[in-house]
Structure 1
Amino acid sequence: MFEKWTYKLNESMTIEQLLREKWMVSRKAIHEMRMAKSITNLSGEPLRWNEPLPPGTELTFHLPDASSSYIPEEECKLTIIFEDEHCLVVSKPKGMPTHPNAPNETGTAMNEVMAYIKNYGGEYAEHAHRLDSGTSGLLLIAKHPIAKGVFDRMLEEKKIVRTYEAEVKGQLKKDEGTVNAAIGRDRHHPTRRRVSPSGQNAITHFRKIKVLKDSTIVHVTLETGRTHQIRVHMSHIGHPIIGDTLYGGPAQPDGYRLHAFKLEFIHPFTGKHLVIEDMKKQ
């Protein structure tokens, strides 16, 4: 869909430094781009990769062909919240998996995204993070392999802030707080996770928004991205999410109430500070 795009340097550096140090592109991808002479000036002339370029230099990227293996649905019914030539942000409804778990599986958000991508002549789309099937909200999609690698690194370095809204059982006394408790697998259940000293480091911040009769609305941000992290941590402090029966929440016919409503980050290719929101729960 977007085989060519431009990037303006905001400081003096070589192409090698931009790819390897700033964006941390893999050695294999850098080698492929070098062999294909994928980076030129605006006139289409190849540039020396180890020659420092002045601030303001505009580079044109002609990316090698890349494709994703998701089977496209007949049409994309997801709401597109944001799009540019590097990424796509969609709103995933509750009850839909983020991605297939088997080669021929369909009915996931990525199958729908691929329908949208192919409709515009593209072949590549990969999710930068994932949402549990029962969680609705914003999903960040990379539209080319360089973006995928950069977004992966930004998530690892906590440069993409993800904020969720949840309704939890009971009335929280604290206005805000942090849960710092490692999460591991529950040996007694195939899908459940639990707080465990031997698990992976997990940090969740929460802030009270509204107190209801028997529950509390909270906004939650993640420092780490462990499986079921918000669900495990809120249950751990005695306030499981309403509808989340797996972690002790009271049953609800519409499932558990957790919605990813905001993504905030500095766009790695445009430098713009993006705050993308979707308060509509699907």
Structure 2
Amino acid sequence: MPDRRFYPVPDGLVGDRVDSVVARLTGLSRSACAKLVDSGEVLVDGVPTSKSERLIEGQVIEVVVPDPVVVRPKPTLVDLPVLFEDDDVVVINKPAGLAAHPSLNFEGPDVLGALMAQGVQLASSGPPERQGIVHRLDVGTSGCMVVAKSEWAYSVLKQAFRDRTVKKIYHALVQGHPDPIAGTIDAPTGRDHRHQWKMGIRADGRRSITHYETIEAMAGGSLMEVHLETGRTHQIRVHMSGIGHPCVGDEMYGADPTLSAKVGLDRQWLHAVSLGFLHPGTGEWVEFSSDYPPELTRCLELMREGVYR
């Protein structure tokens, strides 16, 4: 039987396009939702509609949701430095350009495929496309990341991330100079209504808390140390942009493209410098660190030299 779902139009989505609202409600991509509308699988108050129709208060959307497509990792040879490995976990220094796991919306290499190519056996827990993954870094973010190898490690680490007992420290080079130079950003984040691949600060979003401190101020920018109390998608990028100081190179969230070109950066300047947790096998606290990759070091040096003056 088809998965037929009914959704009253939420107050916050009144006036938005049908395809955009269906994407928001179902979690499917907007292009997939547009195809559902075109094929007659989306009804508004029982009547076929067009993807550009604007919804009004009180309407009910009926959607026939297709079976999910499972994207499985494929072994891919990628330079993926391993910081630590034993029978329970593997800790990597993820380079930018590598997704945590395969997805329908990203065609590049991923961590799971790279580890498979290196012969690393991972936990089978979790959805098929992300087995062993207990946390993620954005495609354009580099640094420390842990993946579970044993089922026990997967269970323990997932709970540790839920309980917020994992210590995650990031460094971010942002435009401008945050005032105050240290503080906490407590602002809920959620999916952007208009762009499904983006996040934003939203009153109806999930609670998101970021602590930051300025390490170094330079002409046009500041090097920040960032601690996450919560781990939402794009959280640091959204929060720093939200206070007017996007990560250098992060044009999706408002960074200056002229500066990106000057420093030769085609990704956000954001790096997971350290990761600490109670080892699921030994119960002892372990901590790992990662140096900046060359492109971030070069950008930082240029900013110190005053390229943004």
In the superposition, the TM-score normalised over structure 2's length comes to 0.64
Structure 2 CA distance for partners of 1:231 and 1:104, relative to 1, 3 Å:
closer
Indicate the structure with greater helix content: 2
DSSP 3-state at the match of 1:173: coil
Structure 2 CA distance for partners of 1:102 and 1:247, relative to 1, 3 Å:
closer
Residue 108 of structure 1 aligns with which residue?
A: 110
Residue 71 of structure 1 aligns with which residue?
A: 74
Residue 44 of structure 1 aligns with which residue?
A: none
Structure 2 CA distance for partners of 1:93 and 1:148, relative to 1, 3 Å:
same
Is 1:154 the equivalent of 2:131? no
Structure 2 CA distance for partners of 1:114 and 1:156, relative to 1, 3 Å:
same
Kept in 1, the 8 Å contact 2:135–2:146? The answer is: yes
| Aligned residue among 96, 99, 110 for 2:98 | 96
Kept in 2, the 8 Å contact 1:87–1:147? The answer is: yes
DSSP 3-state at the match of 1:204: strand
Residue 4 of structure 2 aligns with which residue?
A: none
Aligned-pair CA distance for 1:117: 3.1
Kept in 1, the 8 Å contact 2:99–2:108? The answer is: no
Structure 2 CA distance for partners of 1:219 and 1:103, relative to 1, 3 Å:
closer
Residue 205 of structure 2 aligns with which residue?
A: 199
CA distance in structure 2 between the aligned counterparts of 1:106 and 1:257, rounded to whole angstroms: 20
CA distance in structure 1 between the aligned counterparts of 2:204 and 2:289, rounded to whole angstroms: 35
Structure 2 CA distance for partners of 1:188 and 1:117, relative to 1, 3 Å:
same
Runs (5+) with no aligned partner, structure 2: 1-70, 124-130, 295-309
Q: Deviations over 1:49-76 (max 9, x none)?
A: xxxxxxxxxxxxxxxxxxx952212x45
Residue 143 of structure 1 aligns with which residue?
A: 149
CA distance in structure 2 between the aligned counterparts of 1:186 and 1:266, rounded to whole angstroms: 35
Is 1:260 the equivalent of 2:263? no
When the two chains are superposed, the root-mean-square deviation of aligned CA atoms in Å is 2.1
Is 1:211 the equivalent of 2:214? no
1:160-175 paired onto structure 2 within 5 Å: 160-175=166-181
The aligned length equals 211
Structure 2 CA distance for partners of 1:266 and 1:166, relative to 1, 3 Å:
same
Kept in 2, the 8 Å contact 1:169–1:242? The answer is: yes
Equivalent AA in structure 1 for residue 90 of structure 2: L
Residue 45 of structure 2 aligns with which residue?
A: none
Kept in 1, the 8 Å contact 2:78–2:114? The answer is: yes
CA distance in structure 1 between the aligned counterparts of 2:281 and 2:224, rounded to whole angstroms: 33
Overall identity of the aligned pairs, in %? 35
CA distance in structure 2 between the aligned counterparts of 1:106 and 1:234, rounded to whole angstroms: 27
Structure 2 CA distance for partners of 1:238 and 1:183, relative to 1, 3 Å:
same
Equivalent AA in structure 1 for residue 181 of structure 2: D
Structure 2 CA distance for partners of 1:105 and 1:196, relative to 1, 3 Å:
closer
Aligned-pair CA distance for 1:270: 0.8
Kept in 1, the 8 Å contact 2:122–2:150? The answer is: no
Question: Which stretch of the first structure deviates more once superposed, 231-240 or 123-132?
Answer: 123-132
Kept in 1, the 8 Å contact 2:132–2:147? The answer is: yes
Aligned-pair CA distance for 1:101: 0.6
Residue 19 of structure 1 aligns with which residue?
A: none
Aligned-pair CA distance for 1:274: 1.1
Aligned-pair CA distance for 1:210: 0.3
Equivalent AA in structure 1 for residue 81 of structure 2: T
Kept in 2, the 8 Å contact 1:71–1:106? The answer is: no
Q: Deviations over 1:113-134 (max 9, x none)?
A: 112235xxx3646121111111
Aligned-pair CA distance for 1:105: 6.0
Aligned-pair CA distance for 1:190: 2.1
Structure 2 CA distance for partners of 1:216 and 1:189, relative to 1, 3 Å:
same
In the superposition, the TM-score normalised over structure 1's length comes to 0.70
Kept in 2, the 8 Å contact 1:170–1:216? The answer is: yes
CA distance in structure 2 between the aligned counterparts of 1:174 and 1:156, rounded to whole angstroms: 30
DSSP 3-state at the match of 1:112: helix
1:26-45 paired onto structure 2 within 5 Å: none
CA distance in structure 1 between the aligned counterparts of 2:247 and 2:106, rounded to whole angstroms: 33
